[in-house]
Amino acid sequence: MVEGSSSFSWATLILLLVFGAGISSLTLWRAGNRSVRAKFAAPVNGWAFGLGTGAMLAARLGFRVFQIEGGFTILALIQLALLALFLPLIHAVIGCGLGARAQRGDVALALFWSSIAHLFGIMMVTYATLVIFGWIFIIPPLLLGMRRADSKWLNESLHPEAARRLRRVRAQAIRSRAGTKSSSDAGIIHSEE
């Protein structure tokens, strides 16, 4: 046991790390194989597989929440809703990052970082399952990860030609918005005179 703790041991930490590495290995096996990477689909495949594993874990932990709370209580229903909403997203973000790194060819690095992310994710979700205010510590990193997935990792799943077209469409949209703003600003100035 860790000094000063009655419910935490190094064996538990090692078990969680092995469990996280197992989930990461399964995701890597699914999202990082050559045929998926050849189609530029590793980040999207990791996202989808992460949603699935997160949903399965949310169902299992939701059952445990009802056992811990002693049945259907308001707190248990809130916990179940939070688990059902955030746990699939947590695993999807981790899987997307793993797929993006695997797409770039950093397979060992992808496995390492996703194992560490799964370790901390599992520990924090377990804590939040027991103490509802623990979700406060989970949501900000999750939102940062989702932003990274949306802005960088999922874009890596585009074929180079599609990425070029997307950049062109986005640049054109920015130019048209800038042109619309300047003409609407000119209309405001003329109406004030």
Beta carbons of 59 and 37 less than 8 angstroms apart: no
Single-letter code of the amino acid located at 19: F
Better-scored residue on pLDDT, 130 or 35: 130
Residue 1 has a pLDDT of 38
Better-scored residue on pLDDT, 37 or 135: 135
pLDDT exceeds cutoff 70 at 6? no
Residue 35 has a pLDDT of 63
The conformation of residue 137, written as its DSSP 8-state character, comes to H
Please calculate the CA angle 83-86-88 and round it to the nearest 5 degrees: 95
pLDDT digits (tens, 9 = 90+) for 43-98: 888 888 888 888 888 888 888 888 888 888 888 888 889 999 999 999 999 888 88
Mean pLDDT of the chain: 79
Split at pLDDT 50, 70, 90, the class of 24 is: confident
pLDDT exceeds cutoff 80 at 157? no
Residue 184 has a pLDDT of 53
Question: What does the alpha-carbon distance between residue 7 and residue 30 come to, in Å, rounded to a whole number?
Answer: 35
pLDDT exceeds cutoff 80 at 191? no
Question: What does the alpha-carbon distance between residue 75 and residue 133 come to, in Å, rounded to a whole number?
Answer: 12
Q: 3 by DSSP, 3-state: which?
A: coil
The two counts, helices (H) then strands (E), for the chain are 7, 0
Q: CA neighbours within 13 Å on the CB side: how many for 149?
A: 25
pLDDT exceeds cutoff 60 at 4? no
Better-scored residue on pLDDT, 38 or 81: 81
Q: What percent of the chain has pLDDT over 70?
A: 79
